[in-house]
Amino acid sequence: MKKHNFNAGPSILPREVIEQTAQAVLDFNGSGLSILEISHRAKDFQPVVDEAVALFKELLNIPEGYSVLFLGGGASLEFCMVPYNFLEKKAAYLNTGVWAKKAMKEAKGFGEVVEVASSAEATYTYIPKDYTVPADVDYFHITTNNTIYGTELKEDLDVNVPMIADMSSDIFSRPIDVSKYICIYGGAQKNLAPAGVTFVIVKNEALGKVSRYIPTMLNYQTHIDGGSMFNTPPVLPIYTALQTLRWIKAQGGVKEMERRAIEKADMLYAEIDRNKMFVGTAAKEDRSRMNICFVMAPEYKELEADFMKFATERGMVGIKGHRSVGGFRASCYNAMPKESVQALIDCMKEFEAMH
Ligand SMILES: *Cc1c(COP(=O)(O)O)cnc(C)c1O
C-alpha cells in the first residue's frame, strides 16, 4: 500500500533525494568508496559543502556579508549558541510555543530577557500581535513556524531591531528577507535533510560584540573561519541537504515551494472547515502551511481512535497530534505531494459519510 508520510520530523524528503543519497552511500561519485567512509576533507567532499552553501545563498537570496554554516547539535543547541554569541545585555523573545520557550530559557542564563508577548494561556493556538519590542535589545527572537501547535508567521515582521529566527520547520517554504535577520537557524530534519545537521545563516558583522568568552565550538566565528569544517561535520546529512537544495531549485525555487504550500494547506483546511467531524485548532489567520493541526469536533470526540485506525489502514502515516495538543497533525512539508494531501482529505470525507 502507498504510504503518505505526514511525519512532523524527521519527515518526508523527495524520493529522488533519498535515491541519490542511497547511491552515494553505495558509491560516492564513482570513487568506489561510500560517502560514509571518506574524509570530510577529501577533495570530493569540499564541493558538496561549497555547492550547498552557494544554493542556500541563491535560493534564499542571502545578501553579501552573511555566512551559511552546517553544524551539529540541532536547533536545541542554537537556543544557547544564539545568546552566547549575540546577547550582551538584553534580548526580546516572542513566546509562541514550546520551542520558543526553550530558546528563551537558555537566553536567561546570559542576560536580561524580555518576553514581549505570549500565547501560552491559550495553549499557543495563536501568534500574539499587539506588543512592542524594546528599542534597546540586542535582538528580537522569533519562531517562524510552531511545529507543535500549527501556527506560523508567514511573512517577515517589521521591527526596528535585528531579528533572530528559529526556522526549523518552515525554511525554504517561502521567500524571506534575510536582511531583517542577524541569524536564522534550524534543525534540518523537517524540510531539508535527515537529522544530524543544523543550518545557521549568520550576519558576519553582528558577531564579536559580546564581551564574554565563548567556548570555541560554540562560537559562530570558529565555524565561519573553518568553513563548517572546524571539526568533522555531519557529512551524510549535508550531502542529502545538497540534493534537496538542487531539487528545490529544479522545481522553481522557494516561490514555487510557497505556491505549493499554500495550495496544499488551503485544500486541507477547506476540508477541516467543511467536514462536520473535525475542527482546526489554530486561529485562522495564523494557520501554519507546514503543520496542520485538527481535532474531532466535540460531538465526535469518542471517534478519535477510530479515525486514526481508519486513516492508518489507508496508508496515512504520522498524523497523530503532538502529545501536548492531541488530535491530529498533518505535516505538509515541501516534499509532500498534493496527491497525499488529497488522500487524507478523501479519508476524512469517507469517514464522515460512514457516520
Ligand atoms: C523540531 C524543532 C526544534 C528542535 O530541533 P532539534 O534539531 O531536535 O534540536 C526546534 N525548533 C523548532 C521550531 C522545531 O520544529
219: in domain: yes
pLDDT tens readout for residues 34-77:
999 999 988 889 999 999 999 999 999 999 999 999 999 999 99
Residue 110 in this model has a pLDDT that exceeds 90 = yes
In this structure, are 289 and 144 located in the same domain?
Answer: no
Q: How many residues does the chain have?
A: 355
3-class SS shares of the chain: helix, strand, coil, % to 5 = 40, 20, 40
In this structure, are 204 and 317 located in the same domain?
Answer: no
In this structure, are 34 and 108 located in the same domain?
Answer: yes
CATH number of domain containing 75: 3.40.640.10
What gap in Å lies between CA 110 and CA 134, rounded to an integer?
18
Residue type, 105: K
In this structure, are 38 and 123 located in the same domain?
Answer: yes
Q: Would you give the distance in Å from CA 327 to the centre of its chain?
A: 21
- Tell me, in angstroms, the distance from the centre of ligand 1 to residue 306's CA: 30
CATH number of domain containing 321: 3.90.1150.10
In the prediction, which pLDDT does 208 show? Answer: 97
Ligand 1 site residues, Cβ closer than 6 angstroms: 9, 74-76, 99, 143, 147, 166, 168-169, 187, 190
Sequence-distant (6+) residues with CB within 8 A of 78 are 103, 166, 185, 186, 198, 200
119: in domain: yes
Which of 74, 40, 63 has the alpha carbon at shortest distance from 228?
Answer: 40
In this structure, are 267 and 147 located in the same domain?
Answer: no
In this structure, are 179 and 322 located in the same domain?
Answer: no
In this structure, are 76 and 24 located in the same domain?
Answer: yes
- Tell me, in angstroms, the distance from the centre of ligand 1 to residue 261's CA: 20
179: in domain: yes
257: in domain: yes
Residue 111 in this model has a pLDDT that exceeds 90 = yes
Residue 324 in this model has a pLDDT that exceeds 90 = no
Mean pLDDT over 105-126 rounds to: 98
In this structure, are 205 and 343 located in the same domain?
Answer: no
In this structure, are 173 and 314 located in the same domain?
Answer: no
pLDDT band at 204 (very low <50, low <70, confident <90, very high): very high
What range does the domain containing 135 cover?
Answer: 15-251
In this structure, are 178 and 287 located in the same domain?
Answer: no
Where a domain ends, among 199, 217, 251? Answer: 251
Residue 117: DSSP 8-state: E
In this structure, are 297 and 234 located in the same domain?
Answer: no
91: in domain: yes
Rounded to 5°, the CA angle 84-78-334 comes to 155
Q: List the grid coordinates of 123.
A: 495553549
pTM: 0.98
pLDDT tens readout for residues 218-253:
999 999 999 999 999 999 999 999 999 999 999 999
In this structure, are 184 and 62 located in the same domain?
Answer: yes
Identify the active-site residue in 138, 154, 156, 166.
166
In the prediction, which pLDDT does 43 show? Answer: 86
In the prediction, which pLDDT does 42 show? Answer: 84
327: in domain: yes
pLDDT tens readout for residues 280-298:
999 999 999 999 999 999 9
2: in domain: no
Q: How many domains does the chain have?
A: 2
9: in domain: no
- The residue nearest atom 13 of ligand 1, judged by CA position, is 168
